[in-house]
Structure 1
Amino acid sequence: MRKISIIGNFDMNNNSYNGQTIKTRIVADELESLYGASEIKRVDTAGGKSVVLRLLFQLFGCVARSRNVIILPAQNGIKVILPLVVIYNLLFSRRIHYVVIGGWLAELLGRNRWLLCFAKRLHMIYPETKNQKDSLAGLGLHRVVVMPNCKPLRILTSDELSGYNLRPMRFCIFSRITPTKGIEDAIKAVSLANEKAGKTIATLDMYGNVEACDRPWFDAVKASMPETVAYWGRVEFDKSVFKLKEYTALLFPTYYPGEGLAGTVIDAFAAGLPIIASDWHDNANIITDNKNGFIFPTRDVNRLAEIILDIYKCQDRLVPMKLNCIQSAQAFLPSVVIRTIAKEIA
């Protein structure tokens, strides 16, 4: 009998770099480094409805032949994977672990309360933040421990930090390019800051994947972007830190409904890049205002522009913040984070 089966969206047939696939692969890789490849089975849920029949049999095999089963379902997959694994486990009494991706679980369980009886039978649930843990407790789920998101990035040393005193300042967005990530708010804020300054004091570069459903919207956005804003496509997973290090700060004006501890925050910290973030969901608990970034009211373009102007007046204030960022990044190393679930592995 193997030690662990991991069920999630690995999407190994495609070179996918969304938050779900990245976290699923990282968790599997770290557990494999701890226990060895022979003790780990990976089950790929990529494919949606087309793989449901296959999963019926694969999930049964995972529960029957593993002492621990780890699930990392997406919002659609949870309605299939969670009940199936829990029902199968009535026969075997294994430890079922649920590693949460994003910040949507409590809200989804609140809307679909029939899933709660299955969630209460899990050995442990691992949300990304304390606020998520508290929300799950409000639904009667108490076998919950916080396990932050993580990435296997090389954290810069203090000698490698850069992006100081740039004229004009260079800001970036580094996330999935979709409306609720605040893309248009960021563009408006940079343009407004330049307008108020009477000259170009800031530029904005955007990096990230654009999904097919968002292409018409983004094509319209690009058609009206000023010269100070550019889109540069996707950056390879292992090159993020060295791409980001040259910037002044990262803009994160998200109001994405399922936001958890976003991977872009970890990328920025590792690159020594202060984050200017909306006070959406857990952002203010992860990013400390005036220590490793700045927090502004969600959707408040004027306040975001004011922060950009304030930084321009005194870029030296970013020097200690960049040092604080690389210190903050240490908490999100996979080797550190994986200890949380390793303590619960039978």
Structure 2
Amino acid sequence: MTIVVHIDLGKEWRGGQRQVYYLIEEQIKRTGLQIYLASPYNTPLLTKVKQNFTNVKTIGLYSSFEFDLRNIFKLYSYLNKKDFNIILHTHDAKGAGLGYILKKIFPHIKLIHTRRVSYKIKKIWAKRKYYSADLIVGVSKDICTALKLEGLNGKIVYIPSSIKKQRYVVKKDNRWHNPLRLGVIGALSPQKGHELLLRTLVKLNLDFELWIIGSGKLERFLQNLVHSLQLTNKVKFLGFVESNKVLSQLDILIVPSVDGEGSSATIKEGWASGVPVIASDLEANLELIKPNINGLIFKRKDPSSLLELIKKLLNNSELYEKLKATGLQEVNQYSPVAMEQAYWKIYNKNI
């Protein structure tokens, strides 16, 4: 019997938590595999798994603090089983810290970290917890490269994030809205590039509206920026909405990320919805977007290039159709089944 204990200390329901959910959903179909999920009490991830997968043991933790002794004691009985093959799989930075401590207590377990951001690992403590892993999964090649620069070469595997294509409604009407409807989806946080996008769109001499879909700490700042740029009548803050509820209503999806991104779920969601994607030239985006084939790329150092690309799409219906059709094909390679099979392969290698 193999036991897999997933740890995610995030309290939100974002891309990383959705990936854990998809992975568990596929893993429970395997025989001889017992799945546990440890996450703080009442988090959306823990609640959804508990409600939908009755054969998964959910472990409610006391906090998202990686050094919380109560969490360690709570997990003790689940990991103190030397007669079983145990894989401890962490999915966020704080979870990786908790995993490091548990590995010290239970050296017989195999520790796997999944890293979803490409930021440089700066702190000594942060480096130590990644060095302790038996294997580290980077969800983009850019993340894998960053990890190799930290001296972790022999421990790194690339497994891209997945998307459940059937959740999305494909945009069928290829007529443009009037005004042109642009959209940006993601947490309202600095790396997502909302400020860059707003300061660029103020120069767009077309009748348009921008839907900002997501919530986060920058909401008030961005609302004030919209007011100061005199874009109040053009920008709508929709708050957190599941992307599959709104994507097919957009004309163009913009992904203006400025740093730190992993394997962009938003780009894949645009593909699955048949909505053309214009993304920044961030390395992780370039892994997915082939310019003029499945999307378009603008330069972060020359954001005015975004304006030219919007006009290019408006004036080229053939390109619009090509991006839509290619994206719908491209997204097939990122299924949850393919992701789970890749993880199963590395699990077996480390048992």
Shared topology, TM-score over 0.5? yes
**C-alpha deviation, 1:118, in angstroms:** 4.8
Count matched residues.
322
Aligned to 1:282: 284
**C-alpha deviation, 1:156, in angstroms:** 6.1
1:106-185 matches, cutoff 5 A: 107-108=120-121, 111-113=122-124, 115-116=126-127, 118-141=129-152, 142-154=154-166, 161-185=172-196
**C-alpha deviation, 1:72, in angstroms:** 2.7
Give the counterpart letter for 2:224 in structure 1. Answer: A
Aligned to 1:87: 104
**C-alpha deviation, 1:208, in angstroms:** 0.9
Give the counterpart letter for 2:70 in structure 1. Answer: R
**Alignment partner of 1:103 is 2:118:** yes
TM-score, scaled to structure 2? 0.81
Q: 1:88 to 1:155 in 2, by over 3 A?
A: same
Q: Is the 8 A contact 2:118 2:142 kept in 1?
A: no
1:28-107 matches, cutoff 5 A: 28-35=24-31, 39-45=34-40, 47-49=63-65, 52-65=68-81, 67-78=85-96, 80-90=97-107, 92=108, 94-104=109-119, 107=120
**Alignment partner of 1:27 is 2:23:** yes
Question: Match for 2:312 among 310, 313, 332?
Answer: 310
Cα displacement string for residues 68-100 of structure 1 (whole angstroms, at most 9, x for unaligned residues):
32333433443x32421321232x2x3222122
Give the counterpart letter for 1:100 in structure 2. Answer: R
Cα displacement string for residues 93-150 of structure 1 (whole angstroms, at most 9, x for unaligned residues):
x32221222323xx11xx2345545534433211111222233223332122111112
Give the counterpart letter for 1:97 in structure 2. Answer: I
The more displaced of 42-51 and 166-175 is 42-51
TM-score, scaled to structure 1? 0.82
CA–CA separation in structure 2 for the residues paired with 1:229 and 1:214: 15
Aligned to 2:250: 247
CA–CA separation in structure 2 for the residues paired with 1:180 and 1:228: 23
**C-alpha deviation, 1:35, in angstroms:** 4.2
Q: Which has the higher contact order (CA 8 A, sep 6+)?
A: 1
User: What SS class does the counterpart of residue 81 from structure 1 fall into?
Assistant: helix
Aligned to 2:237: 231
Aligned to 2:55: none
Query: Root-mean-square deviation (CA), in Å?
Result: 2.7
Q: 1:117 to 1:84 in 2, by over 3 A?
A: same
**C-alpha deviation, 1:10, in angstroms:** 6.2
Q: 1:163 to 1:169 in 2, by over 3 A?
A: farther
CA–CA separation in structure 2 for the residues paired with 1:189 and 1:115: 36
Cα displacement string for residues 250-294 of structure 1 (whole angstroms, at most 9, x for unaligned residues):
1111114x3111221221121122221111231111111111111
Question: Match for 2:271 among 265, 269, 273?
Answer: 269
**C-alpha deviation, 1:339, in angstroms:** 0.8
CA–CA separation in structure 2 for the residues paired with 1:136 and 1:114: 15
Q: 1:231 to 1:299 in 2, by over 3 A?
A: farther
**Alignment partner of 1:216 is 2:220:** yes
CA–CA separation in structure 1 for the residues paired with 2:178 and 2:319: 15
Q: 1:230 to 1:157 in 2, by over 3 A?
A: closer
Q: 1:7 to 1:50 in 2, by over 3 A?
A: closer
CA–CA separation in structure 1 for the residues paired with 2:168 and 2:221: 36
Give the counterpart letter for 1:253 in structure 2. Answer: P
Q: 1:290 to 1:61 in 2, by over 3 A?
A: farther
The more displaced of 294-303 and 217-226 is 217-226
Q: Is the 8 A contact 2:23 2:339 kept in 1?
A: no
**Alignment partner of 1:191 is 2:199:** no
Q: Is the 8 A contact 2:294 2:327 kept in 1?
A: yes
Identify unmatched segments of 5+ residues in structure 1.
Answer: none
**C-alpha deviation, 1:7, in angstroms:** 1.1
